[in-house]
A and B are shown apart, each in its own frame.
Chain A
Amino acid sequence: MSQKSTLLNRLRGALIPWLLPVAILAAWEIAARVGWLSSRILPEPFAVLKAGVALAATGELWQHVKVSSLRALTGFAIGGGLGLLLGLLTGSFRKVEIALDTTLQMIRNIPPLALIPLVILWFGIDEMAKLFLISLGVFFSVYINTFHGIRSVDPALIEMGRSYGLTGWSLYREVILPGALASILVGVRYALGFMWVILIVAETISAQAGIGYMTMNAREFLQTDVVLLGILLYAVLGKLADVAARLLERHWLKWNNSYSAA
């Protein structure tokens, strides 16, 4: 009896957040069908779905998603990797901090998107330009959070580690890195979000493939349903990246009460 009711409660808990989106979708569908909304401005959800199915069937959709994801992840790997490396170095060694941090902080204050004209001049409108922008956008949130994470490791724990014979790499592996991990992951999560933003802008400038190319192409032919599909795809991919980051947090920070699964 009680088990049944808790199951019902959980089901209800899982369903309630979806009520509003479903209602909005339904209202939108009806409005489009009745003719209050012109399909040139906003096609009905069902048409978006149909466009998606059609593009998926020809394989075109997957091709674009693949190109975009690869682009985003490569940029993330380069920028995030560099950010992690430099963050670890500046966080751990005062000398490196003194030598590098001021320069990096100056560059940080330039919005990466403001560099677009320059980037086009440097790299043309090729793949390189997009990777550069994404790397740059991702770099700083990983860098700053890594630096901050290393610096905010509890000095009492480091002292304890030292007095128990940990030195050099073992101290790093046992105490400093795990202590900084929560902060590093915050940086990664933020970077993943920003990665998609930059990707969208970079792809709409110019591209020969990818979700951005697909939507810009569709705009020229007034295929609003495909444009909308592209926007939705960005949303889904962004959400997926966030879920992945959250799973990492849960796995790596399971010792921390605020991250462990309820």
Chain B
Amino acid sequence: MNETQFKRMKDLPTTHLLGTGAPMCAGCGGLQAINDIYDVLGEKTVFINAAGCMTLLSIYPFTPFRGSWLYTAMASAPAGAQGVRDALDILLAKKKITPDENLTTVVLAGDGSTSGMGLSATSAAIDRNLDFIYICYDNEGYGNTGQQYSSATPHAARTSTSTGSAGFSGFKKDLFAIWAAHKPTYVATVIGAEPLDLARKIETAASLTGPRFIISLSPCPTGWGFDPQETTYIGKLAVKTGIWPLKEYKDGKVSHTKNPHVRVPVEDYLLTQARFKHLFEPKRNDKLIDEIQSKVDAYWAGITP
């Protein structure tokens, strides 16, 4: 990767390529990220979608995409990408299409599909060194069905299927580590609230070939319980508290692209969202709050700045 074209905020596009009027919820952190991602990837793309919130982007006869789209099912979007990629390669080899007609194959899937039933299809796509970009919008639950917990739900979060006083008893699955363990070309975490970091990573991903992965933490007003205007603020807090580390895996190495040297206490992040309200009301649950804080501290203790 040579010089980035995104040196500062004013280098980012001022208008979005993705059409407006999509039926996503107001303040959708996933849509925020996809807007920025699409600006960089451009319209010579085919999005292969897994069942989730973003399936509703393209409803007959409308689509906000200027390029192509194929909806598959919940578990097999990477296999759909395999079929499209292979077919495009066959058409190119047979000179049925010219190289300028070629498209980048992009999987678009939520955390429920990605960390659950879609994981084996993803793992196998990496085995086969599939040339594609995988974008996971991670709203930390089965958002489209009303925020039931998924394996991407953080510890203690209240969801519609973890309504007890301790919230979700499990721990958020480390997708970044799982993907990186497969040694693909590229893995990165992003968030819409940090658009410069996001644009540079998509730029990097687009410049490479092979399996490339982007996971975007996607603050979800309806699922997490906050006012839609807080999306960017909460996203920034996720980074500042160290809860959402911005990092990338390339050439076998993991590096952090933003290191919050003085981390804001996780409590500031938890307090912004109704899904963590039970940690503070009616009685403060210091044990759980400390547990969350110490997990974050332990993560960063292992990171050399």
Say whether A and B bind each other.
Answer: no
